[in-house]
Chains A and B, each alone.
Chain A
Amino acid sequence: MIEVNKLTFTYAKNALPVIKELSAIFNRGEITAVTGKNGCGKTTLSKLMTGILHPDCGSVFIDGEDISGMNLFAIGQRIGYIWQNPNRQLFCPTVAEEIAFGLRNKGLSDVEISSETDRYLQMFRLAAKKSAHPLLLSLGEKQRLALAAVLSLGAPYLLLDEPTGGLDVRCRRLLGVELQQLAERQNCGVIVISHEDDFIRRFCARKVVM
């Protein structure tokens, strides 16, 4: 489980804290939604949980390990993170290479990389665009690609910052089903930052309101 313990974070000196003494628990095997008003610190929380930002006070534990001593590479082995803006995590020259990037870093063989890449391209309906540059895709396609690239890594936890933003109804449903399967079959802990009540009601087991 991921345990957030009395987190406090302030962006600028002498400013009011964005997050103040926040504590929460995110279990494996279920989807937890994080919701709240605009500007309440949901994205900040996600960045604190993934070590991109460092809290002023408090700590984050992943399966009992404090992340304060870990680098992003080590945290990335435990949590797959999807940014709110997919442009901020797409950097490879083709769609297929974007998915293969993480698989290659995991040390998979060329055959495994190729088959896994094809599987995710099919799953996220990106096979027709496998040679396209990621930045030339539509917003929805970029969102799907970012999801595919992170899901392919198979981290025990997934943190998705507003993943349904650019998705149509069908893709949203497919994503929900895929996340549910990940949580139930692979005991993955999924955390979804979302405003969409419908998505939360349908797919999330618990809700953290900020």
Chain B
Amino acid sequence: MILTNLDARVKLLMLVAVSSVALIIQRPLTLAAVLLLTLILLLAGGVDRAKVWKQTRAMLSIIGGIFIIQCVFCRAGLPLITIGDFTLVTTGGLQMAVVVALRLLIIISSALIVLTGEMRDYLLALRWCRLPYEIVYMTLAALRFIPLLRDEAVSIYSAMQMRGYNIKSANWHKRIKLYLAMLLPITASALHKAGQMSIAMETRAFRCMPNRSEWRSLQFSRGDFIYTAIFFVLLIAIIIFIKQ
């Protein structure tokens, strides 16, 4: 069964379960196994390998930076790498760095499960969890703005370069100034869009009635049940087996 066809509630449940396990568990081996399970789930579920790699690659430099910071600043355990009298990396620091890196990779990978579905399905799923419709709708609507804001940032960045600003030759101070200059138009645009959207929604009777009916509803199929059962059995098995 491919992930796209899975019930949105199951996907949200998987996301919450995997992310929670990633945050609770401290053992690198268990985390590696959970990461492997998540990746198998994604690839067996029909998610494009290139997409998984693209999403992960975008975060690799941040994960690498956090890994180095953890290695250097976590001083627990025995010395592992020393320069003269100074201990650069300890065993505890390395272990913590691996744990944090694996946690981040799990969270990023599990987020890809959600990307296989449509926003309106998640809206129904969150409504099924008894969350207020207005909050759910606004959160998901805000997520839809992200690609638009990214496009806008790219346009402004391109406009700056086309008007003679050579970013390659600019130093870090100038680059930071440039990014700060981009912030205002992007924020203003986001606020403007939000204002326009709220007016458009109210003119189309949003929150007009106290109770809102749904045009479509989520159906929990046998396939969803089997998929959920297999997933949780595997997840619990990994946690118990590696703990022993």
Contact = CB atoms under 8 A, between A and B. Distances in A.
Contacts of A101: 160, 163-165
B184 A91 contact: yes
A147 B167 CA distance: 22
A91 B181 contact: yes
Interface string A76-112: 1101110101011111110000000110011000000
Given A89-B155, A91-B156, A76 B163 contact: yes
Contacts of B161: 71-73, 76
A72 B164 CA distance: 9
B163 A149 contact: yes
Interface string B212-239: 0000000000000000000000000000
Contacts of A75: 162
Given A83-B159, A88-B152, A89-B155, A73 B185 contact: no
B171 interface: no
B188 interface: yes
Given A72-B161, A101-B163, A89 B168 contact: no
Contacts of B159: 81, 83, 88-89, 91
Contacts of A174: none
A71 B159 CA distance: 12
Given A83-B155, A87-B189, A88-B155, A73 B164 contact: yes
Interface size bracket, B side? 20 to 34
A137 interface: no
A25 B168 CA distance: 31
Contacts of A92: 181
Interface string B146-161: 0000001011101111
A116 to B, nearest CB: 13
B164 A77 contact: yes
Given A87-B189, A89-B156, A105 B164 contact: yes
A113 interface: no
A80 B181 CA distance: 21
Nearest to B185: A91
B166 interface: yes
Contacts of A45: none
A81 B188 contact: no
Given A88-B156, A89-B159, A91-B181, A105 B165 contact: yes
B182 interface: yes
Contacts of A102: 163-164
Interface string B11-45: 00000000000000000000000000000000000
The list of the 5 closest CB pairs from A to B, nearest first, reads A105-B164, A76-B162, A89-B159, A72-B161, A88-B155
Interface of A: 50, 52, 71-73, 75-77, 79-81, 83, 85, 87-93, 101-102, 105-106, 135, 149-150, 153
Given A50-B162, A87-B152, A102-B164, 9 more contacts: A52-B155, A73-B161, A73-B162, A76-B162, A81-B159, A81-B162, A101-B163, A105-B166, A135-B185
